[in-house]
């Protein structure tokens, strides 16, 4: 019970001023006591090629190692054409392979996302939940952290300024930590 819950946060955007990366940075400052939130950047991960899955690039091996070390995963997803971004799906695919050696298997997870649009990444989050079924991951359901009109919720430096969003992220992280403790390590 005294061992901290290690959360790995992954934002599905490479953009320098990404709202999703900004939301993940905000989350690192809102983790509850007894938990650690580390972040993983997806830059430098090549496009998935099944010919290489048995001997993957170094960035992919690192990705899998970091996922395996984590007790829980926090996905921060943009919405691209009603789904998750390609870079996030690409990372998910790499770390799920080769068959029988998925790094995601059995991990508790939480999902949040930011968009400049009005629906707060709800459609992308729903797609991600479907993907997590096949990965045998266990995402919490509540609260939904749907960050719409992101340009109004972060300042020019990418700091989260919207108090209700901050409160929901705090609740999401607390629920994730409680859930990870309940279902235990894989």
Q: How far apart are CA 166 and CA 112, in angstroms?
A: 12
Torsion of CA 105, 31, 159, 145, to 10 degrees: 60
- Using the structure block, give the residue that is written with the tokens 């190692």: 65
| Distance from C-alpha of 107 to C-alpha of 109, rounded to nearest angstrom | 6
125 lies in the binding site for ligand FMN (CB under 6 A): no
Contact call for residues 91 and 44 (beta carbons, < 8 A): no
The contact pattern for ligand FMN, residues 67-106, with x = CB under 6 A and - = no contact, is -----------xxxxx------------------------
> Given the complex with ligand FMN, which of 22 and 70 has the nearer CB atom?
22
Q: Does 159 bind ligand FMN (CB under 6 A)?
A: no
Point out which span in 13-21, 60-68, 126-134, 167-175 binds ligand FMN (CB under 6 A): 13-21
Confirm or reject binding of residue 49 to ligand FMN (CB under 6 A): no
From the list 71, 92, 80, the residue with the least C-alpha distance to 173 is 71
Residues that bind ligand FMN (CB under 6 A): 13, 15, 18-20, 78-82, 114-117, 119, 150
């Amino acid at each position: 019970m005294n061992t901290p819950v290690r959360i790995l946060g992954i934002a599905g955007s490479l953009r320098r001023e990404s709202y999703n990366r900004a939301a993940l940075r905000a989350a690192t400052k809102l983790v509850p006591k007894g938990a650690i939130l580390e972040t993983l950047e997806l830059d430098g991960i090549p496009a998935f090629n099944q010919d290489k899955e048995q001997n993957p690039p170094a960035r992919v091996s690192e990705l899998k190692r970091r996922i395996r070390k984590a007790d829980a995963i926090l996905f921060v997803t943009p919405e691209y054409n009603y789904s998750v971004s390609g870079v996030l799906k690409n990372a998910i695919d790499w770390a799920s392979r080769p068959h029988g050696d998925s790094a995601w298997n059995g991990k508790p997870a939480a999902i949040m996302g930011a968009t400049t649009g009005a629906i707060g990444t709800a459609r992308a989050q729903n797609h991600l939940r479907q993907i997590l079924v096949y990965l045998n991951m266990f995402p919490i359901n509540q609260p939904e952290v749907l960050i719409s009109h992101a340009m109004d919720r972060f300042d020019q430096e990418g700091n989260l300024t919207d108090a209700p969003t901050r409160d929901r992220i705090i609740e999401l992280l607390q629920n994730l930590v409680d859930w990870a403790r309940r279902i235990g390590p894989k």
